[in-house]
């Protein structure tokens, strides 16, 4: 048995990967890399009814986008494959038979209808039916059948499931890396189905067998699995195997209110709950994804990493490498964490500022081209460099910089009233004649000097001149330095915009 760390992320291909799942994958990845171990992807597709076309690829693409690719898994066969449970059917048969031989599991012939009835009956009495140590003697299973009766039934081809034979009453001491010691009495457990009548194992059996065979050292998974930990540990015991270490991660909760973050919550708040956009092949419904909404993967990774974990310092920004270095499973929180869209935005703003300018320029170029605007890369680069600090997404760029590409079509009403007074048109005409039309070279610095000098010479207030100038060039009281804009759009365009504003406001006055 190898002593090196091996962890797995084991999603079910039933749809897009929730960001909670992504975080589980991330923590697995970080833990593996921190310990020079292997990060394995295993597809748990033992429920063919819930199989969804494209989900597996979606999961793989999500991991790649997040920058946390797996070392072993579908398409990256290591020495422990195959990595899809549907391709491991024979293995499970062998092991479940072993359990039956040792009296740790048994055949059950009760039909779903019969069980449903029992559940309803119990519910009518305000109780809960459990197929377990207390009830199994009186049910339709091999525990209550003679050897010949059993063989007869099996030969006849009766439908059956295989259940785990839970100990009648024993105290289990379970250890969780994050939560510490957990004590459970097996008396409250039920006899979980290990093998379904369709010939496939359930999650419980398959995950134990695979984790053992794949030499998984640490099982890091969501808190929703905590209730089945006693079963899983009992299974290891029944097989005579040494269990891996377990760590159950807290849930990601909705921002306001209670409960798990759901797609519905995300829709309400305008935030995706999936890393990538997802088109559901069954419903035809499209779900938003972080990538398509313009978030950088660094944003999501950083946000998710800090949702439930921190290294004890004040550090907030981590790249993947830093996360690997700092990660410590024992510092993961126990309590669930509400997802904060505001903090997400803050991270995104940060990472947009740090993104390589080339990437931003290329993305913006695409947007501009779609608007029918064709300008050179250096010009776009100049614009992006000056406006990116006020953006959160690339999709904000247009709103923040359209005036670098087009003359204003309208003028903000409030700003117009404030900036363009009765004598303003005449003032602008003078500025135009004295400075704008004569300035050479028409650069940001040159213009700034000339305009300021002109204002001083005429003993005017800066606001009186600068504000209408901004209004004329931008159409509103916003944007970067007005001299930067004028220099960028050029002398001719600047002249035209001033003239347009003068005629517009003279007409309406």
Partner RNA sequence: GGUCCGUUCGUCUAGGGGUUAGGACGCUAGGUUUUCAUCCUAGUAACAGGGGUUCGAAUCCCCUACGGACUACCA
CA distances from 230 to 175, 217, 242 (A): 10, 18, 14
3-class secondary structure, 79:
coil
* Sites for RNA among residues 251-270 (CB under 7 A): 251, 253, 255, 258-260
Among 218-226, 282-290, 366-374, 497-505, the segment contacting RNA (CB under 7 A):
218-226
- The single residue among 93, 143, 226, 435 that binds RNA, judged by CB under 7 A, is 226
3-state secondary structure of 21: helix
Instruction: Rule CB under 7 A: say whether 87 interacts with RNA.
Output: no
Site for RNA in 151-170 (CB under 7 A): 159, 161
Site for RNA in 46-85 (CB under 7 A): 46-47, 49-50
CA dihedral 258, 260, 262, 267 (to 10 degrees): 40
Q: How far is the CB of 139 from RNA (least distance, A)?
A: 12
Locate 79 and state its tokens. 């020495």
Which of 77, 152, 198, 328 is in the footprint of RNA by CB under 7 A?
A: 198
Considering only 179, 263, 421, 499, the residue that binds RNA (CB under 7 A) is: 179
Q: Is 417 a catalytic residue?
A: no
- Taking the complex as a whole, the smallest distance from the CB of residue 225 to RNA amounts, in Å, to 6
Could you say which residues in the range 5-24 bind RNA, by CB under 7 A?
A: 10-12, 14
Nearer to RNA, 366 or 445 (CB): 445
Choice from 223, 243, 327, 502 touching RNA (CB under 7 A)? 223
* Interface with RNA, residue 227, by CB under 7 A: yes
Query: Which one of 263, 338, 345, 421 is the catalytic residue?
Result: 263
Q: Among residues 276 and 419, whose Cβ is nearest to RNA? A: 419
CB-hemisphere CA count at 13 Å for 442?
16
Near RNA by CB under 7 A: residue from 4, 121, 286, 478: 478
Candidate ranges 76-84, 220-228, 270-278, 369-377; the one touching RNA (CB under 7 A): 220-228
| 343 annotated binding-site participant | no
CB < 8 Å & 24+ apart, contacts of 290-298: 290/19, 291/65, 293/393, 294/393, 294/394, 294/395, 295/344, 295/348, 295/393, 296/348, 296/351, 296/352, 296/355, 297/65, 297/66, 297/67, 298/347, 298/351, 298/354
- Tokens for 485, please give them: 């804009």
Count of residues near RNA by CB under 7 A: 86
Local structure of residue 330 (DSSP, 8 states): G
Which residue spans within 433-507 are E strands per DSSP?
none
Q: Using CB under 7 A, pick the residue from 94, 125, 128, 321 that binds RNA.
A: 128
Give the helix/strand (H/E) hosting 220.
strand 218-222
Kindly give the pairing relationship between strand 180-185 and strand 171-176: antiparallel
Tokens found for residue 241: 């195997």
Q: Which residue from 331, 371, 414, 417 is in contact with RNA, where contact means CB under 7 A?
A: 331
The binding site consists of 263
Q: Which active-site residues does the annotation give?
A: 263
């Amino acid at each position: 048995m190898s002593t090196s760390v091996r962890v797995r992320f084991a999603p079910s291909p039933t749809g897009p990967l929730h960001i909670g799942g992504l975080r589980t994958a991330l923590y697995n990845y970080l833990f593996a890399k921190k310990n020079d171990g292997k990060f394995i992807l295993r597809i748990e597709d033992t429920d063919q009814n819930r199989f969804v076309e494209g989900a597996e690829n979606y999961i793989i693409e999500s991991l790649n986008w997040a920058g946390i690719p797996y070392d072993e898994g579908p398409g990256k066969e290591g020495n422990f494959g195959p990595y899809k449970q549907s391709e491991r059917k024979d293995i499970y048969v062998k092991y479940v038979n072993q359990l039956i031989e040792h009296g740790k599991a048994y055949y059950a012939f009760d039909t779903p209808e019969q069980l449903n009835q029992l559940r309803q009956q119990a519910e009518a009495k305000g109780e809960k039916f459990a197929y377990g140590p207390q009830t199994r003697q009186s049910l339709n299973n091999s525990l209550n059948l003679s050897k010949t009766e059993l063989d007869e039934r099996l030969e006849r081809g009766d439908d059956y499931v295989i259940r785990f034979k839970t100990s009648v009453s024993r105290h289990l001491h379970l250890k969780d890396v994050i939560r510490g010691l957990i004590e459970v009495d097996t008396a409250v457990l039920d006899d979980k189905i290990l093998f379904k009548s369709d010939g496939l194992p359930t999650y419980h059996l398959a995950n134990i067998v695979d984790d053992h065979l794949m030499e998984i050292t640490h099982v890091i998974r969501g808190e929703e699995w905590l209730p089945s930990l006693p079963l899983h540990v009992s299974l290891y015991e029944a097989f005579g195997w040494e269990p891996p270490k377990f760590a159950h991660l807290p849930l990601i909760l909705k921002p306001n209110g209670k409960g798990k973050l759901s797609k519905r919550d995300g829709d309400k708040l305008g935030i995706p709950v999936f890393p990538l956009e997802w088109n559901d092949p069954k419903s035809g419904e499209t779900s938003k994804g972080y990538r398509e909404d313009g978030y950088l993967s660094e944003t999501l990774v950083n946000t998710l990493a800090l949702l439930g974990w921190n290294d004890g310092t004040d550090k907030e920004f981590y790249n993947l490498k830093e996360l690997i270095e700092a990660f410590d499973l024992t510092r993961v929180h126990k309590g669930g964490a509400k997802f904060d869209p505001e903090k997400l935005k803050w991270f995104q703003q940060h990472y947009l500022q740090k993104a390589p300018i080339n990437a931003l320029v290329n993305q913006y170029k695409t947007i501009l081209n779609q608007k029918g605007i064709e300008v050179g890369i250096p010009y776009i680069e100049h614009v992006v460099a000056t406006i990116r600090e006020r953006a959160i997404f690339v999709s904000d760029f247009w709103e923040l910089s359209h005036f670098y590409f087009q003359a204003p079509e309208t003028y903000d009403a409030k700003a117009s009233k404030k900036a363009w007074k009765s004598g303003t048109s005449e003032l602008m005409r003078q500025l135009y004649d004295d400075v704008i039309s004569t300035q050479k070279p028409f650069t940001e610095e040159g213009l700034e000097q000339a305009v300021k000098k002109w204002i001083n010479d005429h003993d005017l207030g800066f606001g009186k001149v600068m504000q209408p100038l901004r209004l004329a060039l931008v159409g509103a009281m916003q944007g970067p330095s007005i001299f930067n804009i004028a220099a960028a759009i050029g002398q001719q365009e600047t002249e035209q915009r001033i003239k347009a504003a003068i005629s517009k406001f003279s007409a309406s006055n």
